[in-house]
Structure 1
């Protein structure tokens, strides 16, 4: 009981403190409903795996983090040795050999120490951390882009798949806010409005470390695009012409991408396509025929991947749809309804985009489109199973939704937002 009361007190104080800090921002009114929904959806996802499926990564992570917390209380010196090292002794058998899962279990072990290994409290804390990162990004967007408060809140706080799949005891509960704090910290340098504090930079660097450790394949395109956009922001500020800004930004993006690709064997250009196809073949063997994307003649060549890119892009953004045979299960039906809404938004947005002068498209929008396209295609190929794809796309889908609702679908919801 004392552990429960302590955790509720800390959660309450932390939430109230953040609200007081952010109460005068355009998205402040979304704080409490967003936080409560985030925690409740995290609990809903946990209940689904614990009481309906009875198995899954969430329960495996819980078992591993519980053992780590127990180790802290019984042998604290050994616990800190485990945190520093790579001994796989305290990882459930289903994760043996999976370094990134081991990293995740170590990262969430302090939450389990604090929560007394209570799975519901741990879920609440991780959902809270995810919400804080996403809310900070929504707040930054609403300040940097006038009139974007509702678009930012809808995309990053209230979008159904973000509520469900980026919280609780999942890797996405750390990865998604890590992406959010990185973008939020660099956003002032992209727009040329303001700057970030030393503390915010420290949080961003910590987020970059988390992202690289857990999901390096998200980190490479994100880091490269952010560097390109920051470079563009600097060059625009010194009034360089738009063509030169684009050339310099693309060059910077490519250089950073090539440098980062040397830091992990799977990202090396010589191996990347082979890794994508190998992952595809493994996932298709493990997935039901009606619950996955199929690229039947996919080969590890540039032309083969390019051939399937349109289908992969559509799948990474829109599948599963309720227009194809689906199991009558809650999650696929919810995902199908959400994807149908995205399809409608895309159709309307492309119609409006067709009527806009092409040279007026913001460079930041172009950069985000590139990030979304690269990850949507890569994730659809490497992880064609609809269940895993729904989780993975939380890294890029909210940016696509924000673009659809704000830049490409410019309804003036809130003209009084502060800039």
Structure 2
């Protein structure tokens, strides 16, 4: 009990400091409700896996960290996560629940940091941004507790916020630079494909900005060189993600996931061989799955209803956004919109191809779902707000 009280006091004190440091004009309740939701989600995650499944990544990660055995797995990314987790487990006195609370707090702090930066850049949608980053249930759930995805989500949030600050010319402090470097390091070791996505996002943003804003006749050549440089840099992240091996990597991962999945949990995405044509053939189904599945028509376990409802809402938002865009032709930050949309679609295609399993996919989709929900909500949000004021 004393250990719990000590950690509650420390987390509460740090939360208050974060709230004071990252000031926004958002309602105070959004911060505290978001924090409570995040920590509670981590507890619910642990309870579900302990009580209903009796096994799972969250349990095995904790047990490995508790026994200081990062070599219980040969997977380098898991070993890296276990080493970080070992420190948290030690500081928590070997408590699963306190360790979970700390990871959830780190994830929430990163999400609030991103929310505060987005609010500075786009004050008219600050409440919408906070809702997408802090409140949507599935996003909160799969970025909480003892999972690699929790730290990866936090690192991704910080990196995207840092890129946005640079793009919008918001003052970047030494503190911003340090946490961006740490986040890049974490993401590089936890989720290779996400650091690649960030490199592509940055390259696209610079390239499209040059085309849109620079008047020099050389702008297309310079933009192409910048984009090429960012794409070339992705080839040094991991040998299995190089262009010449990418189709083989996707095929092998796809086959492995299908072999381990029961029929009810499988997506109908089966890559027949390691050729690039076989991968391309499955792209339409993968994109549909990455954006809209599990849908209300899919058969999933009871937990799947949450994702079905959210995907149904997302479908409505996409339809409304496309309709409002062509009817009203609103002003759009073209470089940011194009870059974000390209990276979201890239992940929405690649992840279902490599992980054709509902349980894995809904977890991995967290990498882009906050941004997809935000992009698809902006036009409906402004439209409904204007109608309310009339």
2:49 equivalent to 1:49:
yes
Is 1:309–1:377's contact at 8 Å kept on the other side of the alignment?
yes
- Which residue, 279, 287, 296 being the options, matches 1:313? 287
Structure 1 position 3, deviation (Å): 2.0
| Contact 2:7/2:98 (<8 A) preserved | yes
CA RMSD of the aligned region, Å? 2.4
**For 1:33-72, what aligned pairs fall within 5 Å after superposition?**
33-68=33-68
Contact 2:251–2:274 at 8 Å: present in 1 too? yes
Counterpart for residue 384 of structure 1: 356
Which among 264, 284, 304 is matched to residue 290 of structure 1?
Answer: 264
Can you list the C-alpha shifts for 1:93-120, whole angstroms capped at 9, x where unaligned? 4xx2111101011112221122112101
Q: What are the within-5 Å matches in structure 2 for residues 367-406 of structure 1? A: 367-406=339-378
Relative distance call for 1:8 and 1:242 in structure 2 (3 A) is farther
For 2:313 and 2:24, how far apart are their aligned partners in 1? 32
Paired residues of 1:27 and 1:138 also in contact (CA < 8 A): no
Given that 1:134 and 1:181 are in contact with CA atoms closer than 8 Å, whether structure 2 keeps it comes out as yes
Partners of 2:127 and 2:385 in 1: how far apart? 7
Tell me: CA distance 1:145–1:234, structure 2 relative to 1, closer, same or farther (3 Å).
Answer: farther
Contact 1:122 1:169 in 2 (8 A): yes
Q: 1:392 to 1:27 in 2, by over 3 A?
A: farther
2:8 is aligned with 1:8: yes
Which residue matches 1:271?
A: 245
TM-score by length of 1: 0.86
Alpha-carbon separation, structure 1, partners of 2:97 and 2:15 = 18
Count of aligned positions: 386
Residue deviations 1:358-382, cap 9 Å, x none? 9955210110111111111110010
Distance, in Å, in 1 between the alignment partners of 2:265 and 2:67 is 34
Q: Which structure ranks higher in relative contact order (CA pairs < 8 Å, sequence separation ≥ 6)?
A: 1
Cα distance change of structure 1 residues 234 and 146 upon mapping to structure 2, 3 Å threshold:
farther
> Is the 8 Å Cα contact of residues 70 and 83 (structure 2) preserved in structure 1?
no
Partner residue of 1:141 out of 118, 138, 141: 118
Picking from 201, 211, 218, the partner of 2:187 is 211
C-alpha distance in structure 2 between counterparts of 1:176 and 1:40, whole Å = 17
Distance change (3 Å), C-alpha of 1:409 and 1:363: farther
In the TM superposition, residue 330 of structure 1 has moved relative to its aligned partner by 2.6
Q: Does 1:121 align with 2:98?
A: yes
- Does 2:205 align with 1:229? yes
Indicate conservation of the 8 Å contact 1:147/1:412, yes or no: no
Q: Is the 8 A contact 1:27 1:142 kept in 2?
A: no
Report the Cα distance in structure 2 between the residues aligned to 1:144 and 1:29, rounded to whole angstroms: 21
> Structure 2 matches for 1:191-210, cutoff 5 A?
191-192=168-169, 194-210=170-186
Structure 2 regions of 5+ residues with no counterpart?
Answer: none
Map 1:153-168 onto structure 2 (within 5 A): 153-168=130-145
CA contact (8 A) 1:134 1:177 kept: yes
- Cα pair 1:228 1:250 within 8 Å, conserved: no
